Structure 1
Amino acid sequence: MPRQFDGSRVRVVRRGKELSQKELGAMVGVSGPTVARWESGEEFPKGDKFPAIAAALGEQLDVLFPYDGPVDLQLLRCDAGLSVAQAAAVIDASRVPISNAESGRRRLQDTYVAPLAHAYGVSKEELLAAQDVSFGVRGAQRPQAAQPSAPRTVGEKINYLLEHGYVGQAPPSDEQIARAVNEHTGVTSVTASDIAALRAGTTTEASDVVRAGLAQALQVDAALFQDDAELSPAAGEFLEAVRFLGSIHRGQILGLAARGNHSGLSAGMMAKINELVGELKHKLPDIKDEG
């Protein structure tokens, strides 16, 4: 089961670490333009690059690139940061045994199990369990890192909305957000650098005027940016709905539990959500319109 890759999330974290695309690329062995294509969604890195990217950004692999489902051989290899060719070199063979095992065509020879387990940093039992998964035998899931808590600070809320609220379209840049906030306030209240600082967590304070401008820029109710430690239940439900709809769009939702939400939506955002639901409704099982 491949890990999820969100280029916009990588961009946010990279900027928070004050790294250029060229610098991040050098740290993971690619060019700056390649990183730019990853972040824009034009291309996706190979799975074996994920550990290096997470390490370069100082993030936990399971948090930056989450995954759902049991662990298979491909995930073990990629999480070890190895390409198919590198894994094949471990067992002094061609790529064929690795590719066949990962695709569920032919199991690994017994002599390959111990060296691959060592290279992947797992036990032989864990590697064999992953091989079963690759061949369609469902096994136990590897414990995952705890999911991030609900966004609390202004910057975390901005990041959350940008990550989950712009399905099928590019989220606004820091420059575009700052411009929209300033247009709303009628004065130069923030700069792109101020927005970047909020998102990176180096700045946590924002005036009520700026909070209202952010709500307008991101098409949400101003209550989402209220100065409280935790989101209100209604605002929390709204953010969960945003994340949920984004997951539908990415094909990650397997079922649907109905939940009402009556607060926190601007007219513009509601229109976008209604449009998305209409486009994706055929993917959801047994959904009935509420009267």
Structure 2
Amino acid sequence: MPPRQFDGSRVRAVRRGRNLSQQQLGDMVGVSGPAVARWENGQDFPKGEKLPAIAKALHQPLDDLFPHDGPPDLQLLRCDAGLSHAQAAEIINASRAPLGNAESGRRRLSDAYVKPLAKAYGVSEDELLAAQDRSFGVRVPSRAEQASGPRTIEEKINYLLRYGYVGQEAPSDEQIARAVNEHAGAATVTAGDIVALRTGATADASDVVRAGLAHALQVEVALFQDDAELSPEARQLLEAFRFIGSIHRGQILGLAARGNSTGLSVEMMAKINDLVGELKHKLPDVPGGE
């Protein structure tokens, strides 16, 4: 069943109201008349990527004819762009596996796929990454929560996975669990335990697991030792991850800081990140970029 709600009887009523036969509607969306009949009778469902074409053919807003609950995940973004798995895979010059793994919450997209997919789906890169978080069962924090920095283990893991692997593939749940166990010298967690921590199903972890997470995600142990307000140093580190990611994706073309031997403050980097988020649609394409 498609990620949007599909009511065959409603499609039938709208089709008849526009004086279209099942065959005519099928011709407009690239299927047979009998296929439309099966949709309307509840015997089958159209593929999710067909829904935009159906709504267009029936002169109906997509969200009105086929509503959905909550913000989109990766599957919904692809389907709303009218793209099949094969078509989206062709855009990133890859097999269907990376898309299927990301949409099902098994392995995150390679950083190189983010920009072309965001462009193909008609969304910003941040919107695509937020949709990916939802595909992995991660609650996307509000702007206020983002401004204060990640505090819980869930928020910290997802922040590091999202921003800490510029130009390289983030580790999977299995790889993180393996690294935690290697650091601990014992089988302390499973991939399922990492999923529970990453999605917030488990809110706490032992000191051994926290130290292992820091080792697995290549940060200082102190970052995982306290869920309270982050220290200025920890916030600066996390903002730096976002900042570097913005540069890597071509959202910031260059930056000169004069007369500052200690580098940009966390407040300044936070402001720059917010500005990038607001203005990136207006930035020109980077020459030679992906």
State the TM-score, normalizing by the size of structure 1: 0.47
Q: Which structure carries more relative contact order (alpha carbon 8 Å, separation 6+)?
A: 1
State the TM-score, normalizing by the size of structure 2: 0.48
